[in-house]
Structure 1
Amino acid sequence: MIPVEMPRYTSFKTLSDGSTGYYWTCPTRYRKRNCPYLSAALGVNLSQKDLHEAALIWNERLDGWLKEQSPFNEIDISKFGTVEWLVNSYLKHDAFLERVAEFSRPDYRRVLDRVCALEVTRSDTGTKARIGDAKVSNITVATATKIYTAFTEEGASRTAEKVVTYCKAMWKRMKPHHPEMFRQDTPNPWEGVTIKRRAKAVKGHVDRSVVYAYASKAVEKQRGELAAAAILAFEWLMRPSSIGAGYAAWTGYRGKSAPDKIIIGHRKTSERAEHPLEYVDEEGNVVELYADAERILKAIPQNGASIVCQRNGNLFGDGTRLSHEIRDFADKNGFADFTLDKARHGGMTELEESGLTEGQGRALSKHRTSGAYRGYAKDTEKRVLEATKRRFGIEDAPVDRTVSEQAFRTKKGQRSE
């Protein structure tokens, strides 16, 4: 019996523990046309509302892709100069395609389509007007503020913030290409919208001891893929989406091209990171930098090309299946509230506790901006204590950290016994 009403392209199955898992799968006819969205795990024991919301994301992505593939998907010139025309132009323009990663593009389409569909009351006539039909030149700061307020009143504060961010970028990037369509008195009306402050939930973090205790338990229970995921998130600061999508391959771990490194990819920023696994000290000895992490990696089976994959070799994919399994295993094995996000945030916090400069931390995490990097490290007791000690000129016994440039050069193929 189907437990709930199933949205388009979704299915369910009973898992080994008796729970019900829900999945979204792209139809074969679209897979054959190279659709970038293949499948995703939506969650376990979902309510009707949660299932519809989880499936809606993937169905909207698929619908957006299908619309782009249609030979009849041309801009409606009868709406030339309107907000809807601007949105359609922007989403096809290099100003958008070269700056926004493919995985994030459906979210822009979803948010901007909601802006176009929004109806607001006109101050002059008191009638309702659809934003998508309004001329770009008629959008003032007051209008932009009305749009933002309409979303916040619906309780969608995060979406409201996205509306301002996406529209501000669209106005900025498209005005040089169509200057005659924009207001001259207010170059970018979205710059004048005041974003309301809201209490943002602070994500927690776990320290090194917890991460390795979790990983060891996962190896013991023959869930090596979960152990590897935790290590990749903590040590090499990978996002859960990058891990699940296979951005850490076995060929990048002590591969032929770099036998002394692990090479990973950061999906969100398209950055490639090469992390040294060892260095040569002044006496010529090879010093392993991630001995504990490598112990875990060497203990897990290679089920596929990716370090983290299912037992059948398939990736966990773009959905939340990997995160759900990480959390489910944690709950059943005494690691309350352990998540991949917390493991990564723990790694970022450790960078700051170690006293690294921001430049050094960003070199490891591959964050492009200071703002993005600074939000991860938590104000732990250790960080506060170290800051207080420095304030009063109290220093621990100095540690000789001077190592020559030659000492950090790795020897290809050399290993410690």
Structure 2
Amino acid sequence: MKGWPRYMIERRLASGEIAYYWRPRRRDIRAGFNLQAEPLGSDIGSAIARANELNRHLDSWRSSIGGVRSLDLQRGFGTLEWLFERYRRPDSLAWQKVSERSRPDYIRAFKLICALPRKSGGDVGTAPVKAIDARAADKIYQRLKEGPRGPRLRQAALCIALAARAWDVVARLYPKDVPALNPFRGVELTHGRGKRPAATREDAYALHNALIAAGEPHLAVAPLVCFEWLQRPENVIAGHLTWLDYKPASKPNSVRIEHHKTGALVWMPLSDSDGPFFPELSEHLDRLQRLGTPIVLMAPARKRKGRVLDPRPFLMREARKRVRQAADVAGLPPWLTLDACRHGGMTELADSDLTEEQEMSLSGHSTPDAKRRYVKRTDAQRLTAARKRRAWVQEQKTHESSNDGSSKSRNGTSVPD
């Protein structure tokens, strides 16, 4: 039709609705152009805008034949799926800052969003980013909240937060292709009331003993290190805690704890004149066989070509699997994980009535807000708060009584001139 973008066509569907498509010339495809026919949906405005984008890239490709092809000259350029892929590129500085432990959560969130079906056909991942506004983001969130097994408020909120982060990063790199106004910012989120339990000291040591009983003495180090020394589970499992960190010659009364997520380095004291601070953990480490430089290593149970394989660090999924199996055999609750142990250690700091500065000096957090996310509210904290409040009330009453007595004395005859 006159005035339409090149290669844009319309088709009437069986339902009677008009749908639009973009279809480049066959000779361009035979010559190696990767942007092939693409559905544009049923909204003519969005279809025209998308067809113009595709034509620009077709022209760019034609002008660069024989040169180095851009990674962006591929099917789906400018879609939401493309935006997430750009964010996750290996050379993306933003993606490099995402920890290895967190990356699967990002990938899962992006897949959940992209897999949502669209009324016009296809899925949300194929929608042009310029067609996604605030209303569309709200609709995406509402659909994410209902999972196949019921409400999933936490997962839906995470999806929106990560989508917003990816949008900001890619919009800065592709200002002509991604709108600066982020539709995922400002979505009204519904937060559930449920919270993940934090392990008590008894829970952490029960998981430690369960792993020993399961024949995993090295993996049994992890629950106690997470609880007592507050190191993140992924750092312990990956082998970042080494024998060189434990009682080194330069500091024989300390252990070096490095938090790779924040870069913080904490020298945790092990004892003072009154005795050890972590007697059970120190005793376990002192008698533990040293399989290699990392403290937590997996001893292979099989042989290859007649020789036993060397011990190696656990994969996180393998470590979690073995922790879960040991916990199940011991009859421990399903929520008791290595993360729960670390959260429990953080909560015990708060129960101990330490100042925030003291807590952060042990946990390695750089800000109070980051530290507070891991602390659970407990009866011990409420009891300490109630005692302090009552002591303050008594102090005020004593002070008021003293002032009243002084005033009466000054108004009576017993006060000399």
SS of 2:176 mapped into structure 1: helix
- 2:138 matches 1:145: yes
1:358 matched to 2:356: yes
**Counterpart in the other structure of 2:278:** 290
1:249 alignment partner in structure 2: 242
Q: Which residue, 83, 89, 102 being the options, matches 2:80?
A: 83
Instruction: Choose which of 265, 276, 288 in structure 1 pairs with 2:269.
Output: 276
**Partner secondary structure for residue 314 of structure 1:** coil
Shift of 1:216: 6.5
Match of 1:195 in 2: 189
In structure 2, the partner of 1:344 is: 342
Contact 1:117 1:130 in 2 (8 A): yes
From 164, 170, 174, give the equivalent of 2:166: 170
Cα distance change on mapping 1:326 and 1:129 into 2, 3 Å: closer
Q: Deviations over 1:265-324 (max 9, x none)?
A: 334445443222245xxxxx69643344312211222233322223443333211x4344
In the TM superposition, what are the counterparts of 1:18-97 in structure 2 within 5 Å? 74-77=71-74, 79-92=76-89, 94-97=92-95
Matched AA of 1:252: D
TM-score (norm 1): 0.64
Q: Paired residue for 1:300? A: 288
> 1:215-235: per-residue Cα shift (whole Å, max 9, x none)?
578668875324422321211
Cα pair 2:232 2:259 within 8 Å, conserved = yes
Give the 3 Å change call, closer, same or farther, for CA 107–293 of structure 1 in structure 2: closer
> In structure 1, what is the Cα distance between the partners aligned to 2:386 and 2:320?
37
Output the amino acid matched with 2:192. Answer: R
SS in structure 2 opposite 1:197?
A: coil
Q: Deviations over 1:19-52 (max 9, x none)?
A: xxxxxxxxxxxxxxxxxxxxxxxxxxxxxxxxxx
Q: Is the 8 A contact 1:205 1:343 kept in 2?
A: yes
The alpha-carbon deviation at position 212 of structure 1 amounts to: 4.8
CA distances 1:187-208 after superposition (whole Å, capped 9, x unpaired): 221113211222334314222x
| Identical-residue share of aligned pairs (%) | 31
Shift of 1:264: 2.9
C-alpha distance in 2 between matches for 1:107 and 1:261: 34
Superposed displacement of residue 342, structure 1: 3.7
Q: Which residue of 2 aligns with 1:159?
A: 155
Counterpart of 2:383 in structure 1 is 385
- The verdict on how the C-alpha distance between 1:390 and 1:75 changes in structure 2, with shifts beyond 3 A counting, is same
Aligned to 1:309: 297
Matched, 1:133 2:121: no
Q: CA–CA distance in 1 between the matches of 2:128 and 2:215? A: 60
Aligned partner of 2:401 in structure 1 is none
CA 1:394–1:128 in 2, change beyond 3 Å: closer, same or farther? same
CA-to-aligned-CA distance 1:77-103 (integer Å, 9 cap, x gap): 564433233223222253423431244
TM superposition shift of 1:170: 1.6
> Deviation at 1:386?
0.6
SS at match of 2:118: strand
Deviation at 1:392, TM superposition (A): 1.3
Q: Is the 8 A contact 2:198 2:347 kept in 1?
A: no
Contact 1:171–1:188 (CA under 8 A) maintained in structure 2: yes
Q: Does 1:224 align with 2:217?
A: yes
Q: Conserved in 2, the CA contact under 8 Å of 1:118 and 1:130?
A: yes
Deviation of the 1:144 alpha carbon: 0.8
Whether the aligned pair in 2 keeps the contact of 1:76 and 1:85 (CA below 8 Å) is: no
Higher mean alpha-carbon deviation, 90-99 vs 213-222, is at 213-222
* Alpha-carbon spacing, 1:314–1:72, altered in 2? closer, same or farther (3 Å): farther
**Which amino acid in structure 1 is aligned with residue 293 of structure 2?**
A
5+ long unaligned stretches in structure 2: 1-67, 301-310, 394-417
TM-score under structure 2 normalisation? Answer: 0.64
Between the two proteins, the alignment pairs up a number of residues equal to 311
Contact 1:137 1:182 in 2 (8 A): yes
Most deviating of 72-81 and 368-377: 72-81
Distance change (3 Å), C-alpha of 1:381 and 1:79: closer
SS at match of 2:257: strand
Are the aligned partners of 1:240 and 1:323 in contact in 2 as well (CA < 8 Å)? no
- Unaligned runs of 5+ residues in structure 1 are 1-70, 122-126, 280-284, 396-417
Which residue is 1:205 aligned to?
199
Partners of 2:224 and 2:281 within 8 A in 1: yes
| Structure number, greater radius of gyration | 2
After TM superposition, give the deviation of residue 360 of structure 1 in Å.
2.4
Deviation at 1:333, TM superposition (A): 5.3
